[in-house]
Amino acid sequence: MASLSVEQPAGAACFCWFRPALLEGNRLRGIPMGVKESRGLKGRESTCWQMLHGGDRHADRRVRAKLSHISSFLSSGKRWMDGKLPTKTFASTISGGVCTDGSDDEFHYPEGSTKFIAECELPTDRGVFRMRAYRYKGAKVVIREGERVLEWTEMEPVVIYKQAKKFVDPVAVRVHDQCYTSEVLGSKRCDCKEQLDLALDYINQFGGALIYMPQEGRGIGLANKVAAYHLQDGGLDTVDANRQLAGFGDDERSYECIPYILEDMGIKSIQLMTNNPFKIRQLSELGVTIAGTKPHVVKPNVYNEKYLRAKVMSRDGSCLVGVLRCR
Ligand SMILES: Nc1nc2c(ncn2[C@@H]2O[C@H](COP(=O)(O)OP(=O)(O)OP(=O)(O)O)[C@@H](O)[C@H]2O)c(=O)[nH]1
């Protein structure tokens, strides 16, 4: 397993997190329930404790993480970002409160939280939609100076939707990740903008919801995506370029806020617009009921064929095969 060190961004609490994908093959075990209060901890240490033990109501179902690096953080003498050492109370609270059998290497970790912020009308060229804004706070793996570290981040997903009166399950839903280069600049290197348009056209006509996730470049961020493009200019495909970039995974996106958003909107099951088996798997693992999928195929162009081919090759599902046949 890749080693993770802990870095605390200014003004945020330090804590640790693994994506479920990194946990495959590991034993998992929960913390004793009922150990809820932060036992006299203050400030960031209290926040860190609460992040480990608070969680939202989906936490039990979907979050189990191995956090042995908390113990190594504590025992390695690493410091918080301001140079201070963790207090003894923090160390003993964490190691005393989390383990079920005396070993100190397994934790049950509730992930970040999602909140509804506001809703408005959204008149567009296509028609009039409704838009709902959310704020998600959680942890994200980032690469800093060549090392994988965890940072506390905020993301503001929005939902653009249309419905007759009330949603009837299963609702057509597109979970769409931000792509600044195609959606704003008109880049032809990928198919993201066309997929966005396709989904909005469908929703405008038949009803449904598009959840727009501000996670650029499959979660690696705009600057890293440009660096990946630079490597692709030299001949690598998307996946290899991502891997070569300081060890990013093929896909660093996270959909942890989606179950909350769907529940908040009264959507119990969805018809997911995607060609992406990874997305289907991730959402199902998070507890989303996927009644079916709608292929989301757009026409390749001369610039994105290699990208689409890499997408097909890197995914294990057959629903993508059509992508390259549609020319
Ligand atoms: N790292 C990297 N990200 C890219 C590249 N091209 C597009 N992206 C990002 O990829 C994301 C779109 O993911 P894809 O895997 O292409 O498609 P998807 O939306 O997950 O899958 P579908 O649901 O089938 O459309 C967006 O966040 C884009 O910014 C690239 O060459 N490198």
Ligand 1 pocket, residue 225 CB under 6 Å: yes
Same domain, 166 and 236: yes
Tell me, in angstroms, the distance from the centre of ligand 1 to residue 178's CA: 8
CATH code for position 298: 3.40.50.10990
What's the pLDDT tens digit per position in 47-74? 555 545 444 333 333 333 333 334 445 5
DSSP string, 232-263: HHTT--HHHHHHHTTT--S-----TTHHHHHH
Contact between 175 and 213 under an 8 Å Cβ cutoff? The reply is yes
Helix and strand numbers, DSSP H then E, in the chain: 11, 9
Q: Which of 177, 237, 314 to mutate to test the pocket of ligand 1 (most atoms within 8 A of CB)?
A: 177
Say yes or no: 65 and 147 in one domain: no
- Does 15 score more than 60 pLDDT? no
65 and 123 co-located in one domain: no
Same domain, 44 and 169: no
Distance 87 CA to ligand 1 centre (A): 42
Residue 326 near residue 257, CB atoms below 8 Å: no
pLDDT range class, residue 78, cuts 50, 70, 90? low
169 is catalytic: no
94 in the same domain as 121: no
pLDDT of residue 270: 97
User: How many domains are there within the chain?
Assistant: 2
Q: Are residues 139 and 285 in the same domain?
A: yes
Inter-residue contact 212 to 166 (CB < 8 Å): no
Compute the mean pLDDT over every residue in the chain, rounded to the nearest whole number.
71
Pair type for strands 128-144 and 171-177: unpaired
Identify whether residues 174 and 260 lie together within a single domain: yes
Closest ligand 1 atom to 307 CA: 31
Residue 254 has pLDDT above 90, yes or no: no
Measured distance CA(140)–CA(289) in Å, rounded: 25
- Residue numbers of the domain that contains 190: 113-324
More confident residue, 242 or 110: 242
pLDDT confidence of 239, banded at 50, 70, 90? confident
Least confident range of 11-15, 95-99, 103-107: 11-15
162-177 pLDDT, tens digit each: 997 888 999 999 999 9
Residue 51 belongs to what H/E stretch? helix 43-53
Q: Residue 279 pLDDT > 80, yes or no? A: yes
CA-based Rg of the chain, rounded to a whole angstrom? 21
CA-nearest residue for atom 3, ligand 1, is 217
- As a whole number, mean pLDDT of residues 105-129 equals 78
Domain boundary among 64, 98, 132: 98
**Whether residue 190 has its Cβ less than 6 Å from ligand 1:** yes
Tell me if 107 is assigned to some domain.
no
* CB under 8 A, 24+ apart: contacts of 121-125: 122/160, 124/200
Which tokens in the block code for residue 113? Answer: 């939280």
At residue 227, the 3 state secondary structure works out as helix
pTM of the predicted model as reported, rounded to 2 decimal places: 0.69
Considering the domain architecture, whether residues 32 and 70 belong to the same structural domain is answered as yes
CA of 53 to the centre of ligand 1 (A): 33
Examine the domain organization and report whether 82 and 136 are in the same domain.
Answer: no
Whether residue 33 is predicted with pLDDT greater than 70 in this model: the reply is no
Residue partners of 258: CB distance under 8 A and separation at least 6: 175, 211, 283, 286, 288
- Give CA–CA dist 18/322, Å, rounded: 33
Residues 135, 251, 281, 327: which is the catalytic one?
A: 251
Q: Which of 259, 263, 267 is nearest to 62 (CA)?
A: 259
pLDDT at 76 over 70: no
DSSP per residue, 278-323: HHHHHHHHTT-EEEEEE-------TTTHHHHHHHHHH---GGGGGG
Cβ-count burial 270-292 (b if 16+ within 10 Å, e if not): bbbbbbbebbbebbeebebebee
Classify residue 105: in a domain, yes or no: no
Q: Please give the single-letter amino acid code of residue 298.
A: V
Q: Which residue has the higher pLDDT, 89 or 158?
A: 158
Per-residue pLDDT at 98? 38
Query: Do the interacting molecules here have an ipTM over 0.90?
Result: yes
Whether ligand 1 lies within 6 angstroms of the CB of 228 is answered as yes
pLDDT of residue 40: 59
Please determine, for residue 133, whether its predicted confidence score (pLDDT) is greater than 50: yes
- The answer on 186 and 75 residing in a single domain is no
Greater model confidence, 280 or 83: 280
pLDDT for the residue 229: 92
* Residue 145 forms part of a structural domain: yes
From the alpha carbon of 189, which atom of ligand 1 is closest?
6
Distances (CA, A) of 144 to 7, 12, 139, 148, 226: 9, 16, 15, 6, 17
- Residues whose CB falls within 8 Å of the CB of residue 209, separated by 6 or more in sequence, listed in order: 159, 160, 161, 162, 163, 167, 171, 172, 173, 174, 203, 265, 267
Give the pLDDT band of residue 128 (cuts 50, 70, 90): very high
Q: Are residues 252 and 174 in the same domain?
A: yes
Q: Are 187 and 301 in contact (CB under 8 A)?
A: no
Residue range 128-139: average pLDDT?
A: 91
Q: Is residue 304 lining ligand 1, measured as CB closer than 6 Å?
A: no
Amino acid identity of 69?
Answer: H
Residues 21, 154: one domain?
no
**251 counts as catalytic:** yes
Query: Of the ranges 7-21, 109-123, 186-200, which one carries the lowest mean pLDDT score?
Result: 7-21
Model confidence over 185-235: pLDDT tens digits? Answer: 999 999 999 999 999 999 999 999 999 999 999 988 899 899 999 998 988
Largest CA distance in the chain: 64
Ligand 1 contacts CB of residue 296 (under 6 A): yes
Specify the residue with its C-alpha closest to ligand 1, atom 22: 274
Residue in 60, 253, 264, 325 annotated catalytic: 253
- What is d(CA 155, CA 178) in angstroms, rounded to the nearest whole number? 12
Residue 147 has pLDDT above 60, yes or no: no
**Whole-number Å distance between alpha carbons of 254 and 258:** 9
What does the angle CA 122 – CA 123 – CA 124 come to, to the nearest 5 degrees?
110
